Amino acid sequence: MNAVNLTAEHIFATGLRDQWHPVVPSSFVAPGAMRKVTVLGEQWLLFRRSDGTLSMLADRCPHRGAPLSLGKHLGDRVACWYHGVEVESDGTVASVPGLPGCNLEGKKLVRSLPVREVAGAVLAYFGTEQQPQPSELTLPDPLVDPDVDAFLCYAEWDVPWRYAVENLLDPMHGAFLHHDSHTMFDGDTTAKFRIRETDRGYFFEKTDQRGVNFDWVELCRTGVDWVDLSIPYPPSAGPGGAFGIVGMVRPVDEERCAVFFWRYRKVQGWQRDTWRFLYKTLIEERHWDVLEQDRVMLEAMPSDADQQENLYQHDLGVVRLRRMYKSAAEEQAGA
């Protein structure tokens, strides 16, 4: 499916095209393995050759449309289970065993997407016919800074992707939803916010408190959409100060999303090693408990939640986000 036949409503509901999206953690596709995945409401197959080369193909045999993900990994190609049609990692039909010499052979009939692996996750470019070449991708600075160390946390939620992003553009929920947590128990429960433009998106931040709770967030659109934010650690987490989060959301379909949170900290040497040890042993589970509070709340939101609201000043970041995504969806649909 391409944008020419997509409506703005469908794009808004299933995710923007012509940009990069995170897909799964790299470790989900072992060398010599394949994995099906639903992204932007479409079925895809991640397929990794034994040398590690990764490719992403439409999960659809060019012959009769059977899912290639039910087929066999043949090392450098996938064979459809239905009639054995073999497809190479770039989408070219290598062989039609039932009819050698068939004119399908040698043709690139399966859509393949540009993929990159970044900080332990697979990113793919979801282009359209109008814009099949990948747009420039600038990676989140904390994920490429050698002085920063990060752990990826991946989770799958029964939540529309927009609600998960909106949740991140709503820092004030930290003081309430996460009040009973190891990191966000402190800070005022009243605040004033402002929007501050940047050349890659915008900050949504408290005007009267910083470094106490979840006090600011930056939305960044750099070929992939991500947020950056910072949350103070209690003294028990040792030296290194606050931890940051780079967050991305992958639309699965209209009702579901997958979330990617890189928890990062600017630490080196023994301080880095000690944080990593504490994270693996004790802190990761506490972070998980916080994330579960978000999941429980968002999954319980009614499906018409964003149709019947009474917003106030704290929702400026959300309003801005929706307007931006709505107009981008309309533009992509050519409305």
**Residue 91 backbone dihedrals phi, psi, to 5 degrees:** 95, 0
146 part of the interface to other proteins, by CB under 8 A: no
Q: Does residue number 186 form part of the binding site for other proteins (CB under 8 A)?
A: no
Question: Quick check: 272 binds other proteins (CB under 8 A)?
Answer: yes
Q: Is 72 in the site for other proteins (CB under 8 A)?
A: yes
266 binds other proteins (CB under 8 A): no
Please tell me whether residue 114 binds other proteins under the rule CB under 8 A. no
The residue within the footprint of other proteins, chosen from 16, 87, 119, 152 (CB under 8 A), is: 152
Q: In this chain, which stretch among 85-93, 135-143, 237-245, 312-320 interacts with other proteins, using CB under 8 A?
A: 237-245
Among 221, 276, 320, 326, binds other proteins (CB under 8 A): 276
Which of the stretches 72-80, 168-176, 192-200, 325-333 binds other proteins when contact is defined by CB under 8 A? 72-80
Question: Could you say which of 270, 296, 300, 301 contacts other proteins (CB under 8 A)?
Answer: 270
Query: Considering only residues 153, 212, 297, 319, which one is a binding residue for other proteins as defined by CB under 8 A?
Result: 153
322 binds other proteins (CB under 8 A): no
Task: Give the nearest distance from C-beta 190 to other proteins in angstroms.
Answer: 29
Stretch that binds other proteins, among 3-11, 85-93, 149-157, 163-171 (CB under 8 A): 149-157
* Interface with other proteins, residue 243, by CB under 8 A: no
Q: Site residues (CB under 8 A) for other proteins?
A: 25, 32-36, 45, 50, 69-75, 81, 151-158, 234-239, 256, 258, 269-270, 272-282, 284-285, 288, 295
